[in-house]
Amino acid sequence: MRKPSARQRYIRLLLHWMDRMESILIRGLLIAAILMLTAQLLLRIPIVRETWSGTDRLEGDPVRSNETSP
């Protein structure tokens, strides 16, 4: 059996590295999507939204849907 050349070894190492990076990127994207979804769901809770979002305090009184407009 022949010893692999430096070029073949480099290609094999590169492909191995690319496979590892692909799995790390996919895992990172999945974690980011789960965190974003969790944050969006938590922002639907009024107490959490008041704590996390400073913009809600600056917007004034919310419009009530059961009030009739003039």
Element (H, E) at 18: helix 6-42
**pTM beyond cutoff 0.75:** no
Phi/psi at 51 (5° precision): -75, -45
- Give the Å distances, CA to CA, from 42 to 7, 27, 49, 66: 52, 22, 7, 25
Cα Rg of the chain (Å, integer): 26
Residues in the chain: 70
Listed by start position, the domains of the chain span 6-52
pLDDT of residue 1: 63
pLDDT in tens, 25-34: 999 999 999 9
Give the side-chain half-sphere CA count within 13 A for 26: 6
